[in-house]
Amino acid sequence: MKKIKNLISLPLFVLFIFFSLQTAVFSLSSEENKFFVDKVIAVVNRDVITWSELYKYMEFTAKDEIKALNPDEKFKYFKAHEEEFLERLIDTKLQIEEAEKYGIFVSDSEIEGAINDIKKKYALTEQAFQETLKKEGMSINDYKKMLKEQIIIGRALNTLVKSKIIITDAEINNYIAAHPELSCDDEGYYVSQIFLKKKENQEELKTKINEVFKRLIQGESFSKVASQMSEDATAKTGGAIGLLKKKEIASELSNLFSKMNIGQVSEPMMTEHGIFIFRLDGVCFKKGSDQLINYVRSLLEDEKFKKDYKLWIRGLRQRAYIEIMD
């Protein structure tokens, strides 16, 4: 067993839960009708984490491109990243406990409202929503519990970490001076692309698109995939096409890039010439504009939050009893 600890004696009822859950049986997926022996894989203070709970957590928190994989590929991805997901689930448990100490909670009506918003976002009917949960081996109660925890953690972070971050004008000005690529005469976007030519055989094109995203999901760099798979001149530059001025590109591209985060990869875009897959590498704002100042403020807030969050989590872990089973 791997132990991470400030040692605290575990109450008898925790030990009872620990041993009783060692032989529990659960259904991973009602659709596949496969059964696995469940087991406790970690203890966090007075709580335990089972393999089934970890699997549901992975399903809930995985990115959309991971959820889109076929069951076998998705399971392989989860197994390869199991330790990473477990560490995140442990952090989730600790943050929920801390939030409870400060009286941070979410009402049932807020959870229902959040679920309705998710249905609207993905254009899901109630039946389609239920079928999606069933496919992922998750009950509606499981989903509500995890959604509730995510909302509680968000509120806890706002109250206990983000609210204490202060960014000064001097910090903003210094950052802008150190990053001249953010200031332009005209607004624009730094972009890379992968281009796939139209094929008479549509299945061949689909196979290529799937290969691109599979390699990206597996962690290969966009530039490497672009250099090997892009079918235009940008393959020589790893897909990089440099700065595109907002006023010089099509409105649909401008709308697309304006909604993307730095480093995000777009969905395939079909044109008469073929398929484009874009990555947003950076943005450029008009010199001295409010947009530039607000953007830099947001960047600095994110940087400080990441540092403060790590320190906060480290403190929670140092005060906790954490035991991870082999």
Domain ranges across the chain: 2-163+308-324, 186-286
Q: Per-residue pLDDT averaged across 318-323, rounded?
A: 96
Helix/strand/coil (H/E/C) assignment for every residue in 220-240 = CCHHHHHHHHCCCHHHHHCCE
Give per-residue pLDDT as tens, 44-73.
999 999 999 999 999 999 888 888 788 888
Q: What pLDDT is recorded for position 23?
A: 37
Q: Which residue has the higher pLDDT, 17 or 246?
A: 246
Angle at which helices 51-61 and 82-101 cross, to 10°:
90
* CA–CA gap between residue 258 and residue 250 (Å, rounded): 12
* CA–CA gap between residue 58 and residue 67 (Å, rounded): 10
Residue 19 pLDDT greater than 90, yes or no? no
Helix (H, G, I), strand (E, B) or coil at 180: helix
| Residue at token pair 């947003």 | 280
Q: Which residues contact 55 (CB under 8 A, 6 or more apart)?
A: 28, 78, 137
Residue 301 pLDDT greater than 80, yes or no? yes
Beta strands in the chain (DSSP E): 2-5, 25-29, 34-37, 40-44, 47-50, 183-184, 188-197, 240-245, 269-270, 274-286, 321-324
Q: What pLDDT is recorded for position 37?
A: 60
Beta strands in 119-272 (DSSP E): 183-184, 188-197, 240-245, 269-270
**Range of weakest confidence among 32-41, 89-98, 303-312:** 32-41
33 confidence band (pLDDT: 50, 70, 90): very low
CA-to-CA dists, residue 300 to 149, 182, 257, 286, 323, angstroms:
27, 14, 21, 19, 35
Q: Candidates 3.40.50.2300, 3.10.50.40, 3.30.390.30, 3.40.190.10; correct CATH number of 186-286?
A: 3.10.50.40
**Range of weakest confidence among 14-23, 105-114, 128-137, 174-183:** 14-23
**Range of weakest confidence among 17-21, 178-182, 270-274:** 17-21
- Tokens, residue 253: 């591209």
* CA–CA gap between residue 43 and residue 50 (Å, rounded): 9
Looking at the whole model, is its pTM more than 0.75?
Answer: no
Q: What pLDDT is recorded for position 70?
A: 84
What is the CATH number that goes with domain 2-163+308-324?
1.10.4030.10
CA-to-CA dists, residue 120 to 68, 114, 123, 139, angstroms:
19, 10, 5, 20
Q: Which residue has the higher pLDDT, 236 or 218?
A: 236
- Tokens, residue 13: 């009822």
Query: Which residue type, as a one-letter code, is found at position 231?
Result: E
Helix (H, G, I), strand (E, B) or coil at 98: helix
Q: What pLDDT is recorded for position 12?
A: 33
Using only C-alpha atoms, what is the Rg of the chain? 23
Query: Are the C-beta atoms of residues 188 and 244 closer than 8 Å to each other?
Result: yes
Nearest alpha-carbon partner for 99 in 152, 43, 164: 152
Give per-residue pLDDT as tens, 157-167.
999 999 999 99
Q: Per-residue pLDDT averaged across 88-113, rounded?
A: 96
